[in-house]
Amino acid sequence: MLMVLSGGGLMALVCLLLLASPWPYLAPFVIFGIFGLIALSRRPAWGLLGLVVLAPFEGVFKESLISGAKVLGASLILVLALQLLLRRLPATRFASNLWRPLGLFLFCMFLSTLFTENLLYSLNNWRELLIGMTLFGITLLVGRDVNMTTLCRLIALAVAVTCLSALLSTEHQAKGRAIGLLQDANYFALLIAVALPPAALLVLHAKKIIWRLFWGSVCLILLVGMIKTDSRSGLLVVLLTFAIGVWQHRDKLRRVRPRHLGFVMLGAAIFVPLTFASLPDDYIERVKSLGMLKSGADVKQDTSLGRRASYLLVGGQMIRDNPLLGSGPGTFPLRYGLTGYAKAFSDEIGQLDIFRRAHNTYLEIFSEMGVPAGLFFVSLILLALRNFERARNIWTQKGEREKSDLVTHLGLSMLAMSLFLMFLSIPNHKYLWMLLALSSVLRMQAEETPLKEEAQLPYLQQHMMKD
């Protein structure tokens, strides 16, 4: 009764305050907000799934003070904090083997901030990074309660919807390149590259042909969206993750019998030429331009490649100037803006945009925060990939093939993210920190789950042979 009265009094007070504020139209939504908090307190995992769905739509509300993701994130943090205080959630869920490299990385970042060249830029960099890192803690707390298959469905569908919006409307394109609901085509390509492995998993695990066709259509939409972005880095990442995915499923290829070879060759003879014929000419030319890097041609023939080469030169000089602590978090744009490259490439693209980020997360961290911080960040990524690999091996040894495939495809999403870090400055991306936390959650679940009775004997025999 006391909780009901206090909740009702709080609701009435908030409604009165909103009615007296410049936003009286928000007062009726307080009731929905209270019910939303109640739902989150009962099912915090729904909040995490909601944040996953809203991530591809953040560009719509980028300039807004209030957005669905901000409200949901703040509400979820409040609910989880209260549950931790009331001991409804065990604090042991925070356990992760990623805390050590993460803590060392943050310590190096703190030292770099003390000697930064621009404190305002560094504090803003901290703010952006901590916003992304909140999803790391949230995922550790509620990741065990999330249905991972549902998570894969929501990631694939959310990104596919933004792909459809870009394919059907020129409003979601920039200079002919699809950007979805974001501001940059390469950032959009990142989302597609991360969403493709979960979508492919759903095709493999579909029980009925109609669902296999549905998820196959989702994969096709994502692939067409990737092509429409004209992102060369996106194409490289997708091809590499596809090759690794095929290698991980090589045991399934052994089921192909000689009598099936004719159908495989026929499908390849139809699909491969049709794919190349459907590719836009300008996209093919952009991909061909990558040959400049191997042949030693002048990268200034391609503005984008030339600009990225200038980032490497400036970043390398920053590392040589201060290899231990860097120039300070967030200060790469300031350093780059003082060089002749900034003005030259700004004139070529017709925009006065000289304060540009490194478009390479690893380069940005090494140059801004120093070599030790960069090494700790790289070790964080490698350890997360190792967690996915370890979880996959455990599930395979335990005979849980579907769970092994699930971990494999989420690991491929993490791999796609780690590769894209070489082409974009995204240390605060929500999917990055969610996947980092999921690597720990999935590994611990795999290690803690007991063996099935039918899998215990071969599992023990295998380990006895190792011993």
Could you read off the pLDDT of 19-59 as tens digits, one per residue?
A: 666 666 666 666 666 777 777 888 888 999 999 999 888 77
Torsion-angle region of residue 213: left (phi > 0), alpha (psi -120 to 50) or beta? alpha
Confidence check: pLDDT of 459 > 60 = no
Residue 1 confidence (pLDDT) = 42
Tell me the pLDDT tens digit for each residue of 55-96.
888 776 666 666 777 888 888 888 888 888 888 888 888 989
Task: Name the token pair of 88.
Answer: 């409804």
Express each pLDDT in 389-429 by its tens digit: 999 999 999 888 899 999 999 999 999 999 999 999 999 99
Give the pLDDT band of residue 288 (cuts 50, 70, 90): low
Give the model confidence (pLDDT) of 198-234 as tens digits. Answer: 999 999 999 899 999 999 999 999 998 898 888 888 8
CA-nearest of 340, 355, 351 to 306 is 340
Q: Which structure tokens are listed for 263?
A: 């159908």
Look up residue 373 and give its amino acid: A
Residue 298 banded pLDDT, cuts 50, 70, 90: low
Mean pLDDT confidence for 147-154: 94
Percent of the chain with pLDDT over 90: 43
Q: How far is CA 288 from the centre of its chain?
A: 28
pLDDT at 141: 92
Average pLDDT of the segment spanning 339-345: 77
The answer, yes or no, to whether residue 286 has pLDDT greater than 70, is: no
Average pLDDT over residues 4-32: 62
Distance (Å) of CA 44 to CA 29, 77, 430: 20, 10, 17
Distance CA 257, CA 68 (A): 51
Buried b (16+ CB within 10 A) or exposed e, 247-279: ebeeeeeeeeeeeeeeeeeeeeeeeeeeeeeee
Largest CA distance in the chain: 77
